[in-house]
Amino acid sequence: MAKTFFHIAIDGPVAAGKGTVSRLVAERLGFVYVDTGAMDRNTALLAKQNSVDYSDEDGLAKLVESADIDLRTPEGDEKDGRLATVLLNGEDISWAIRTEEISSATPLVAALPEVRRVLVDKQQKIAVGKNVVMEGRDITYRVLPNAQLKIYLTGSDIIRAKRRHMQLLTKGQDVAFEEVYRELLERDKRDMNRNTDPLKIVDDAWQIDTSDLTIEQVVEIIVGRVRAITDQENSK
């Protein structure tokens, strides 16, 4: 009998804790963690490196299609606060894709249908033959529609804005909370109303509100659910 690999698909808005939770769940279960947002950022970096306009859909799609994009668990000196090590054509660009310029350009390139099609194909190939935890905005219905566990991770606007504000402050960025809160609301609206693969809650997704939960509590809840599902499958 062929081995069945377990796929966990996690969607949710910005600052809901998707990245940290997904990485820790993957570590606990020995799964591969896939940050699809990093792959979107890769596209923006490719555009910058090759002087391709952020609106050039065909040009960007060709760049992404020919690029070798890989993600792995941080090893050795790579354990410097990153959630995953991101490689672009063999080069470690984990921090190069976290600049403000790339952050601002990422939503523009991620909204291009042909670029998204190429990225989805790459993300699906990464998951083949692996146990994975994959997080993003359209994983539960576009990238891994047959995942054994689909989760929509969310939180209150204020709590998520506070988390995002703290993240920026720890990175040395002096920004007012009011500005962070306003940008978060705008990002939510943009993500939910974009024409290409908008953020949405699918019917079979398990909704987890992280507002009053610690990261470790969320991880425990998800790991417990995975083990319950696998135990049930093994008992058949």
Q: Which domains does the chain have, with CATH numbers?
A: 7-31+132-228 (3.40.50.300), 35-130 (3.40.50.300)
pLDDT tens across 121-177, in order?
999 998 999 999 999 999 999 999 999 999 999 999 999 999 999 988 987 888 999
- 164-to-26, 170, 220, 236 alpha-carbon distances in Å: 23, 10, 23, 44
Structure tokens at 177: 């909370």
Tell me if 88 sits within 8 A of 46, measured CB to CB: yes
Name the percent of the chain lying above pLDDT 90: 78
